[in-house]
Amino acid sequence: MSLLLLYNKYHAAYAGEEKRVETGGDVTFLETLLQAEIPTKIKVYHYDERGDDAGVIQGESLELKNYKYHLTMNEELLMWLAINKPDVIVFWPTGIPNIDPTRILMSVIKRELHIPLILVIGDSVTPWSKSFIDSWLPFVNYVAIEDDIVDEARYDQRYIQFNLSTGTNKKIFYDHGLKKDIDVSFIGNTKVANRMMYLDYLKTSGIDVYVSGGTKKTELSWDEYATLLSRSKITLNFCLNDKYPQIKGRVMEAMACNTMLIEDEGTVTNQLFEEGKDFIMVKSKEDMLEKIQYYLAHDSEREAIAASGHKKQQEFYTAKNIWNYLFKKAKIEFSECTVLNFSHDFFYKMESIWNENRNLLK
């Protein structure tokens, strides 16, 4: 049995910048899948690392310029799939047409190769996500979503709840046992929704909030990010994506690091955790200030809430539980586990097969 992970390695939005910004796909998908000990061979294909140094297995380049045939991404994928025939493909798209594999290719995979396709949608809460999912539904078998976005998700068995995040990566996010020398932190994008309004209000009210831009446009590594969370007595989360509430990866990340979480009202976090016991919800910036002041002054209560959220995250929302749930709902069973290397030889062996099947991409 084998599985293909298909996703972008770098954020397309920062493609023209000197420092390329990783999507976190390896941290979120590959590493958590290995930690889940799913009994299958795992192949990773970063579809943005192509051209003369592309086709990636865990960061190692296959220099296609050394091969006789220089192929497009869709051609290369089809050839590899025809030879290796994985039992399932987990696909995390960018939503950018000239970067993602084409829907025509996905149609060929489903119709001709009969390989189950699971489409993973991260920020699945917006109307744009709904229309994007609709455009992919004819070509995939299942859609794994983070959020309860549309009525269809409640009765269409192709939708699967999939609360995987970087926070389930136990090699990075765990209780580091560090001194809690940061009172309050917010680590993430400050330019979304009402975040700066809250943060400015807290600072003008005398709360020393440690603010960092997260792992995207800063030099903050995943390990540094996890360390900051572990040093925080309280970390803040804002659940709105534009005006739509969703559960952020920050929820699992904070709880995995044994840090008390406070977030704004309208959250869907209380579908997974108990408000008042595992985390604290606030109704306004004034309420947030009051709650921060209270819990900074009451260490034992704050530590008990952090410990409760940490325990529940570690018990229920592990990589193993989340991946197994996805494959169970998708009716996929595995029987062995290793990492599968991209075959160097198949490029040479496939000329006749490729010529016979080139019309499939037209």
Q: What is the pLDDT along the chain (362 residues), one digit of tens a residue?
A: 789 998 887 766 554 555 566 778 888 888 999 999 888 888 888 877 653 333 333 333 333 333 334 467 787 788 888 888 888 999 988 877 677 888 888 888 888 888 999 999 877 777 777 788 888 888 899 988 876 554 555 557 788 878 788 778 999 999 999 999 999 999 988 887 688 999 999 999 999 999 987 545 556 888 999 999 999 999 999 987 667 777 888 999 999 999 999 998 866 788 889 999 999 999 999 999 999 999 999 999 999 999 999 999 999 989 999 998 899 888 887 654 433 333 333 333 334 444 454 444 44
Which residues are 237's β-sheet partners? 263
The pLDDT of residue 82: 84
The pLDDT of residue 269: 85
Alpha-carbon span 96 to 66, nearest angstrom: 29
CA atoms within 13 Å, Cβ hemisphere of 137: 14
Choose which CATH entry (3.40.50.300, 1.10.1740.10, 3.40.50.2000, 1.10.645.10) describes domain 171-316: 3.40.50.2000
Alpha-carbon span 278 to 17, nearest angstrom: 40
The pLDDT of residue 217: 53
Structure tokens at 319: 């990589």
Which residues are 269's β-sheet partners? none
| Chain mean position to CA 64 | 28
Alpha-carbon span 92 to 100, nearest angstrom: 9
Taking each helix axis from N to C end, the angle separating 285-297 and 195-204, rounded to the nearest 10 degrees, works out to: 50
Q: Which long-range contacts does 49-53 make (Cβ < 8 Å, 24+ apart)?
A: 49/9, 49/10, 50/76
Where do we find the tokens 């995995």? Answer: 256
CA dist 167 to 15, 177, 250, 313, Å?
25, 17, 7, 9
Domain boundary assignment for the chain: 2-165+318-361, 171-316
The pLDDT of residue 267: 65
Q: Which long-range contacts does 95-99 make (Cβ < 8 Å, 24+ apart)?
A: 95/132, 96/12, 99/8, 99/12, 99/47, 99/48
Alpha-carbon span 209 to 212, nearest angstrom: 10
Alpha-carbon span 48 to 46, nearest angstrom: 6
- Say if CB 30 and CB 58 are below 8 A apart: yes
Convert 138-176 into a string of H (helix), E (strand) and C (coil).
HHCCEEEECCCCCCHHHHCCCEEECCCCHHHCCCCCCCC
Query: Pairing state of beta strands 54-57 and 60-62?
Result: antiparallel
Angle at CA of residue 120, ends 330 and 221, nearest 5°? 130
Q: Which contiguous run of DSSP H or E holds residue 240?
A: strand 240-241
What does DSSP assign to residue 340? P
Instruction: Output the CA torsion sign for 33, 37, 39, 42.
Output: positive
The pLDDT of residue 62: 35
CATH topology of domain 2-165+318-361: Rossmann fold (3.40.50)
The pLDDT of residue 65: 37
Alpha-carbon span 216 to 156, nearest angstrom: 34
The most distant pair of C-alpha atoms in the chain lies apart, rounded to whole Å, by 73
Structure tokens at 159: 């939708």
The pLDDT of residue 50: 54
2-165+318-361 and 171-316 agree in CATH topology: yes
Query: Pairing state of beta strands 2-7 and 260-264?
Result: unpaired
Of 338, 339, 342, 340, whose CA–CA distance to 54 is shortest?
342
Which residues are 91's β-sheet partners? 6, 119
